[in-house]
Homo-oligomer: A and B are copies of this chain.
Amino acid sequence: MPKRVDPLERRRSIAEAVFRVTASRGVEAVSLRDVAAEAGVSMGMVQHYFRTKEEMLLFALDHMRDRVAGRLQARLAHLPEATPRDVARAVLGELLPTSEDSRAEAGISVAFYSRAVVTPAYAEALRQGLRGLLDATTAQLRAAQRSGHMRPDLDAEQEAASLFWLAHGLVGPLLIGLYTPQAAQALLDHHLDRIFT
Copy number of this protein in the oligomer? 2
- Contact between A118 and B165 (Cβ–Cβ < 8 Å)? no
Contact A162 B187 (CB under 8 A): yes
1/0 contact string of A154-181 vs chain B (CB within 8 Å): 0100100110111111111101111000
- Tell me the chain A residues, 105-129 only, with Cβ under 8 Å from chain B: 107, 110-111, 113-119, 123, 126-127
Per-position 1/0 for A34-72, Cβ under 8 A of B: 000000000000000000000000000000000000000
Chain A residues within 8 Å of B, Cβ to Cβ: 23-28, 103, 107, 110-111, 113-119, 123, 126-127, 130-131, 155, 158, 161-162, 164-173, 175-178, 187, 190-191
